[in-house]
Amino acid sequence: MNITFLVVGKTKSLHWDALARDYSDRIRCFLPCETKIVRSAEATIAADPELARAREAKHILAALPTAAAVIVLDVAGEVISSEAFAEKLRRWRDTGVRDLYFVIGGRWGVAEVVHRRATWCWSLSRLTFTHEMARVLAAEQVYRALTRLANIPYAK
């Protein structure tokens, strides 16, 4: 199974980018992992949430392989424990999911058309995080799940 973090917009903070890269490197000990950046809405339309989400949705959908399982990160998604997430990841892996994409939207989230393409909508918390933070937290949870599935101790 290949893991891809599909992120709208570049990470502006070098610290968040370094953390995300560190977790991606750790994930690569278990599975192929990459991050793809799609363009965020231009500044002229970024202030209009609907227009920005629609523009970004075109870039997101164009980057998704047809057969990929798609996980959209959204505050309105399902909140589950790390243990339950590890079980979901195990099921995807064991049922032959080849490409697993984690979609992290821009400042306004993702358009409904992206939600409809999703296999599952996941909330890291009922709190709202920047997309930079969400990328790190999602990668950490993927790494945590993989260590759990491999029976490798990881800090609780």
Per-residue confidence (pLDDT) for residue 92, from 0 to 100 = 97
CATH superfamily of 2-149: SPOUT methyltransferase, trefoil knot domain (3.40.1280.10)
Residue stretches of the chain with pLDDT short of 50: none
Per-residue confidence (pLDDT) for residue 69, from 0 to 100 = 98
Burial class of 22 by CB neighbour count within 10 A (0 to 12, 13 to 18, 19+): middle
Contact yes or no for 36/63 (Cβ under 8 A): yes
Per-residue confidence (pLDDT) for residue 44, from 0 to 100 = 64
Give 101's contacts (C-beta < 8 A, 6+ positions apart).
Answer: 4, 5, 6, 64, 65, 68, 69, 70, 71
Q: What is this structure's pTM?
A: 0.94
Q: What is the pLDDT of residues 103-135, one digit of tens each?
A: 999 988 999 999 999 999 999 999 989 889 999
Nearest to 34 by CA among 66, 5, 63, 10: 5
Outline where DSSP puts E strands in the chain.
Answer: 2-8, 33-38, 69-78, 99-104, 120-122
Per-residue confidence (pLDDT) for residue 22, from 0 to 100 = 97
